Structure 1
Amino acid sequence: MGLFSFIKNAGAKVFGIGKTTEEEAAEAKAKAAAAELRVEEAAAKNLEQTINDLALQVKNLDIFIDDDMARVSGMAYDQATKEKVVLVIGNTDGIATVDDQMTVEHVQPEAQFHTVVSGDTLGKIAKNYYGNAMAYPTIFEANKPMLTDPDKIYPGQVLRIPALD
């Protein structure tokens, strides 16, 4: 025995089984869309809960997910909080784009962002941005509570790189 391939919709045409009317097809499509919407709503609520669990201060936090895009709004306590919220959402499996519509209560300079590649370490990243590998704790602290260990970063992860004071 082995793996056999079939033409997905040929059976209904040949044998007359599984036929659907346009109305049944539209109803099935509407049910599938509603199920997908419920999944996206649940994912948005989970992200909101994660942000609250991480003690990131955002008033009126609202996340909306549509396919692989997330839109976030609310008032972040400061620029660092705003950037961390965007990173929590963007570093979530299945999210490709974050539409940041948040405002900031206490304005600060914006950080740069770095996408981790294979072979990166926080020290190597610090050397690149600050000229000093020993400045890696600054990057680690800027990405807490998402990072729990300076040695646990992964390719594709996006990190905040704040300006040095």
Structure 2
Amino acid sequence: MSIFDFVKSVGTKLGLGDGAPQAGDLKKELDSHDLGTKGVQVSVDGDKAVLKGDVKDQSTFEKAVVAVGNSLGVSKVEASDLKVGAGAPAQTPVLYTVKRGDNLWKIAEAEYGKGNGAKNNLIFEANKPMLTDPNKIYPGQVLRIPPLS
């Protein structure tokens, strides 16, 4: 349940070299988003990043997974030992891998149904601070899809 797939050959380049990023580089990337993940430990097993620790809520859990997973060289993020709140297990998030030709409007219609493209701002807001511009998404990037309330 808590292993998430990413596209290894796309994402934010961290550190030096072309191999799998180092745990320290992934931790620095995670902390740079100021999500409240200071207590989260990051380790690397090949091209899989492993997150352990506690986060305050489901949103922070999902953002941590996406922030680490959208790093060049990471193909999987394991978050089995990343707990929400008072040690509760996280719910399975809805994630979407961007395809060529996608934009947030198209993604909103694909995920929420035809006629719901205007809900694209929900997707943009759910992916801040990793997304800084709704027009700057790229194929292979993984986005959180928040539920409609």
TM-score by length of 2: 0.77
State the Cα distance separating 1:79 from its structure 2 match.
0.6
1 CA distance for matches of 2:94 and 2:59? 11
Q: Which has the larger radius of gyration?
A: 1
1:105 aligns with 2:89: no
Name the structure 2 match of 1:133: 117
2 CA distance for matches of 1:83 and 1:144? 11
Q: Secondary structure at the match of 2:134?
A: coil
Counting helix residues as a fraction of each chain, which structure ranks higher? 1
2 CA distance for matches of 1:105 and 1:67? 29
1:91 aligns with 2:67: no
Q: Which amino acid is the alignment partner of residue 118 of structure 1? A: R
Whether the aligned pair in 2 keeps the contact of 1:79 and 1:110 (CA below 8 Å) is no
Name the structure 1 match of 2:25: 46
State the Cα distance separating 1:110 from its structure 2 match.
4.6
**Cα shift readout 1:58-104 (whole Å, capped 9, x = no counterpart):** 25211001221111111011111111111111111111111112000
Aligned identity (percent) is 43
Q: Which has the higher contact order (CA 8 A, sep 6+)?
A: 2
2 CA distance for matches of 1:99 and 1:109? 14
Name the structure 1 match of 2:98: 116
Whether the aligned pair in 1 keeps the contact of 2:29 and 2:68 (CA below 8 Å) is no
Aligned-CA RMSD value: 2.0
Name the structure 1 match of 2:139: 155
Structure 1 portions without partners, runs of 5+: 1-38
1:76 aligns with 2:58: no
Which 4+ residue blocks in structure 1 deviate beyond 6 angstroms?
Answer: none
Q: Which amino acid is the alignment partner of residue 43 of structure 2? A: F
2 CA distance for matches of 1:102 and 1:59? 13
1 CA distance for matches of 2:139 and 2:45? 25
Q: Secondary structure at the match of 1:153?
A: coil
Aligned pair count? Answer: 126
The more displaced of 55-64 and 122-131 is 55-64
Q: Which amino acid is the alignment partner of residue 63 of structure 1? A: V
Q: Which amino acid is the alignment partner of residue 157 of structure 1? A: Q
In 2 relative to 1, CA 109–70 (structure 1 residues): closer, same or farther, beyond 3 Å? closer
